[in-house]
């Protein structure tokens, strides 16, 4: 007796079963227009490479619905990664360490780095590629890679906040730190302690980024000689001086002479001091808005 029709035996009697070719054709059309079509397909069609490729080319996430054997097929996984990088999470383990596949995934979606295999996280070439897409990808790198200065520079150039993920040694490297701060001044919070309190380094950095002083130690922010030099470069850094220096006339005079708007950070008494206010207003008339004893100051400068 002839076998009943079955998808796996399309040459047998077909009176009681669907035509496999027709079913495949229907599904191919469906997966090219719906991300859910493959999910509800019969298992034998999920094992079909043509169907799998069509599905993942429409929506990379369809990789989760293909047969397990096809999640280990490079052609299928690569196609999925190009369409949706995060689909890498559904790939067979060996393909997560495949450089072509991983690069395609990260190129499409930098956050796919979290699904990359450990071998590539220890690969300098791959990680350099990844951090150039998203500096914070360094978070997933191996200890060895996070100690590599070339990779670190590429990461912080893309995103200064990636400084938090470089090795402790490189958090104290002036070139790496300056590159990070230039991209995002808030990166200073992750600078190594020794460099964070290095007055020569800070004096240079403050020229452009006065607000990095907020991350400096109180000892540095309370050093009168250092702060006077810093304020000459960036008067607004007075905001981060310790209160005692904000009430020190010599220090405040340096600040408001550099930037009159620094008057807003002087102590209340000094904001009513004629000499201080004169210096601030001489720098910019807008500084008068921060002067104390407003009525007296307006009278003093004929602003009323």
Q: What is the mean pLDDT of residues 115-119?
A: 97
pLDDT of 4: 47
Q: Residue 110 pLDDT more than 60?
A: yes
pLDDT of 201: 83
Top pLDDT among 275 and 209 is at: 275
Least trusted range by pLDDT, from 176-185, 210-219, 234-243, 274-283: 210-219
pLDDT of 2: 45
Least trusted range by pLDDT, from 99-103, 195-199, 273-277: 195-199
Q: What is the mean pLDDT of residues 157-164?
A: 97
**Alpha helix locations (H) across 84-198?**
93-96, 99-108, 118-121, 124-133, 143-146, 149-158, 174-183, 193-196
Q: Residue 300 pLDDT more than 70?
A: no
Cα–Cα distance measured from residue 224 to residue 235, given in angstroms and rounded to the nearest whole number? 14
Q: What is the mean pLDDT of residues 92-101?
A: 98
For the chain, the domains span: 1-111, 197-304
CB 230 within 8 A of CB 251: no
**Sign of the alpha-carbon dihedral angle for 178, 180, 186, 188:** negative
Residue 57 half-sphere exposure toward CB, CA atoms < 13 A: 12
In tens, the pLDDT along 248-283 reads 999 999 999 999 999 999 999 999 999 999 999 999
pLDDT band at 74 (very low <50, low <70, confident <90, very high): very high
pLDDT of 30: 86
Q: What is the mean pLDDT of residues 64-88?
A: 97
pLDDT of 194: 81
* Average model confidence (pLDDT) across the chain: 89
CA-angle at 10, arms to 7 and 14, nearest 5°: 95
Q: Residue 69 pLDDT more than 90?
A: yes
pLDDT band at 82 (very low <50, low <70, confident <90, very high): very high
Least trusted range by pLDDT, from 40-44, 63-67, 92-96, 260-264: 40-44
In tens, the pLDDT along 5-55 reads 455 555 554 455 688 888 989 888 988 998 888 999 999 999 999 999 999
Neighbours of 235 (CB within 10 A): 24
Task: For the full predicted model, state whether its pTM sits above 0.85.
Answer: no
Residue 261 half-sphere exposure toward CB, CA atoms < 13 A: 4
Among residues 202, 264, 278, the alpha carbon closest in space to that of 233 is found at: 202
Least trusted range by pLDDT, from 36-45, 175-184, 295-304: 295-304
Top pLDDT among 184 and 89 is at: 89
Structure tokens at 142: 């191996």
pLDDT of 299: 57
Share of the chain above pLDDT 70, in %: 90
């Amino acid at each position: 007796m002839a076998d009943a029709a079955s998808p796996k035996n399309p040459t047998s009697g077909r009176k009681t079963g669907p035509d496999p070719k027709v079913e495949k054709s229907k599904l191919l059309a469906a997966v090219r227009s719906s991300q859910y079509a493959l999910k509800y397909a019969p298992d034998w069609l999920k094992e079909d490479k043509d169907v799998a490729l069509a599905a993942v080319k429409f929506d990379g996430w369809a990789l989760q619905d293909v047969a397990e054997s096809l999640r280990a097929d490079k052609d299928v996984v690569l196609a999925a990664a190009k369409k949706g990088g995060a689909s890498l999470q559904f790939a067979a383990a060996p393909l997560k360490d495949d450089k072509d596949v991983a690069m395609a995934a990260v190129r499409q979606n930098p956050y796919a780095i979290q699904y990359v295999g450990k071998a590539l996280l220890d690969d300098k070439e791959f990680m350099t590629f990844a951090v150039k897409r998203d500096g914070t990808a360094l978070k997933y790198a191996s200890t060895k890679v996070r100690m590599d200065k070339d990779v670190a520079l590429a990461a912080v150039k893309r995103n200064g906040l990636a400084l938090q993920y470089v090795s402790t040694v490189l958090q104290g490297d002036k070139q790496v730190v300056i590159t990070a701060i230039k991209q995002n001044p808030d990166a200073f919070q992750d600078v190594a302690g020794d460099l964070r309190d290095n007055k020569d380094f800070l004096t240079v950095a403050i020229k452009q980024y006065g607000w990095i002083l907020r991350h400096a130690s109180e000892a540095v922010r309370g050093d009168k000689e250092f702060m006077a030099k810093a304020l000459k470069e960036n008067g607004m850094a007075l905001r981060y001086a310790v209160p005692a220096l904000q009430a020190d006339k010599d220090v405040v005079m340096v600040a408001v002479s550099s930037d009159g708007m620094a008057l807003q950070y002087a102590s209340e008494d000094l904001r009513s001091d004629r000499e201080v206010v004169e210096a601030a207003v001489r720098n910019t008339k807008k500084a008068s808005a921060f002067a104390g004893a407003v009525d007296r100051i307006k009278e003093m400068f004929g602003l009323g």
